[in-house]
Structure 1
Amino acid sequence: MEARAMARRVLITGCSSGIGRAACDGLRARGWTVIASARNPDDVAALKADGFLAVRIDHHDSASIAAGFAEAVTLADGRLDALFNNAGHGMPGAAEDLPRGALEEVFSSNLFGLHELTCHAITHMRANGAGRIVQHSSVVGFTALKWRAAYVATKHALEGLTNTMRIELRGTGIHVAILNTGPVTSGFRHRSMAQFDRWIDLDRSRHAEFYRVKWLARREAGRDLFELGPEAVVKKLAHALESRRPRRRYYITTPAYVAAVLTRILPDAAQDWIIGRL
């Protein structure tokens, strides 16, 4: 790690648990002033009780995004140096089983609301002449996995949006980085299965037997192979925020590194064959 940068005030989304909460703890320990955000007012209250500055931001609500960002700037004494876009949720299920409402909801959370908040941050950072934006993507931001079509689609879209944004922001003093995580310990899987229950008509799906045997068993599953703790994400996040020469992209976990190599060297047919057996 290079010498820490001067930026010390960061807004983090999705801080009620998991990676977001670990990022709050980790960056506060490194001397950052952390403004944490969550969608649920009870979670915001819990963050405040734990000593964090905290605001409510709901990606589905434009008024909440604008008000939450403005409050975060006030709590940061008028200057936010960084934004970590961590909030979002999964949506398991085959592409053909996804109703339009399910796809719209996950895009609202994982892309549209995130983008709206990011635009507020860019306006603020351009006025200050500098800033760091870190987008929490995934290994499925550049590859695909079966039964996760909605989540894969949102992360592919986020990558395209972020890559374009990074090029457009050259020379502004604002650096944009992407975190591509593989399996990381958090409550993400459990929350994703709740979305499955809400949106997928299991009995009418041609994949019903697979869902019952495989997906429902995942509720009781332990750690995935090569799974790391959230501190692995915080380590790369700290580099993206503090390094004088931050990277454009950070791979986290062995599967992310392996997938990055395979997508570069293998033709689509070979990738399909491999992914089809996972």
Structure 2
Amino acid sequence: MTQKSILITGASSGIGFDAAHGLRDAGWRVFASCRKAEDCERLRAVGFESPQIDYADADSIVNGLAETLEATGGTLDALYNNGAYACPGAVEDLPTDALREIFETNLFGWHELTRLVIPVMRAQGHGRIINCSSVLGFVGYKWRGAYVATKFALEGLTDVLRQELSDTAIKVILIEPGPITSAFRKNAVPHFEKWIDWQNSARRDAYKEELDRLYTETEPGKFELPAAAVTKKILHALNAAKPKPRYYVTTPTYIMGFLRRILSTRWLDAVILRG
């Protein structure tokens, strides 16, 4: 039986890192891509094939996929779009250039890679495209406007793509995690420092409270799960004869999904603002 292949982006840590290991253990041939060359080298040292793909660099997307397809003989069974980052800050303090930059990585790069993969999957007659969204892909949350905007856009684009490919054997799936143990918060700090002039903000006092949370290492939250919880859902999405369009991960995602369906926008805002 031919070994199935999957290209995973953002595999240097967190969800992508765990998915690379979990899928390899499950028998998949994993191409674990990273944005930085040194992270690719680290993964190669433990036996992974690791093309360098930076969503903000179009050439790296083309070259990284070409490297993967050359290794497989031109086929690819699955793509897991995962690499993304956050830029915390109030919407009124977000420079528009900050939004342009985060959309380049969190949406436009995903779209570019996906468009390149679809013809490969059409030619081979099958494939699965899995996009890692978030609970923040269907409910908003204060201070996270930039990230929320990219994930809302991703969900809309993915829904349309799923409809458009419904007459093919290519399945399009969303994974929607809530709080997952990772370096996500730590990785957001440089983007906050680059773009948010919080000391001159009308919300300066509120930022002081947020800074403690952003810069302080904390114990896992009550509902926080390890990245393996996401990998478990990815495996189901890959192996199921009829995968679900959406997979929730963590209790908060299930709760918010339920509240989103039954509450008015005003009441949902009130619940979210209470924390």
TM-score bracket, shorter-length normalisation: over 0.9
1:52: which partner in 2?
A: 48
Deviation per residue, 1:15-56 (Å, 9 max, x gap): 111111100000000000000101101111111111001101
User: How far apart are residue 6 of structure 1 and its match?
Assistant: 7.5
Q: Does residue 1:274 correspond to 2:260, yes or no? A: no
Q: Does residue 244 of the first structure (1) align with residue 257 of the second (2)? A: no
Instruction: Give the Cα separation in 2 of the matches to 1:29 and 1:148.
Output: 35
Matched, 1:185 2:181: yes
Matches of 1:113 and 1:7, distance apart in 2: 27
* CA distance in 1 between partners of 2:249 and 2:2 (Å): 25
Give the superposition deviation at 1:276: 1.6
Whole-Å separation in 2 of the counterparts to 1:45 and 1:209: 43
Give runs of aligned pairs for residues 1-278 of structure 1, distance below 5 A.
8-220=4-216, 221-278=218-275
Distance 2:213 2:67 in 1: 42
- Residue identity in the other structure for 2:136: V
Q: Percent identity?
A: 47
* Distance in 1, Cα, partners of 2:50 & 2:87: 27
Structure 2 length-normalised TM: 0.97
One-letter identity of the residue aligned with 1:39: R
Equivalents in 2 of 1:125, 1:88: separation in Å? 24
Q: Which structure has more RCO (C-alpha within 8 Å, separation ≥ 6)?
A: 1
- Structure 1 residues 173-223: Cα deviation after superposition (integer angstroms, max 9, x where no partner): 000000010000000111012211111001111121111123333322222
Q: Distance in 2 between matches of 1:112 and 1:29?
A: 31
- Paired residue type of 1:219: Y
Aligned length: 274
The amino acid across from 1:125 in the alignment is M
Which aligned segments of 4 or more residues in structure 1 are displaced greater than 3 angstroms?
A: none
Q: Deviations over 1:46-77 (max 9, x none)?
A: 11111001101111111111111111111223
User: RMSD in angstroms over aligned alpha carbons?
Assistant: 1.3
Q: In the aligned structure 2, how far is the partner of 1:120 from the partner of 1:7?
A: 22
Unaligned runs of 5+ residues in structure 2 are none
Cα offsets for 1:91-150 (capped at 9, x unmatched): 111110100111111100000001000101111101111000100000011111011000
User: How does the TM-score come out when normalised to structure 1?
Assistant: 0.96
Any stretches of 5+ residues in structure 1 without a counterpart?
Answer: none
Are the counterparts in 2 of residues 35 and 76 from structure 1 also a CA contact under 8 Å? Answer: no
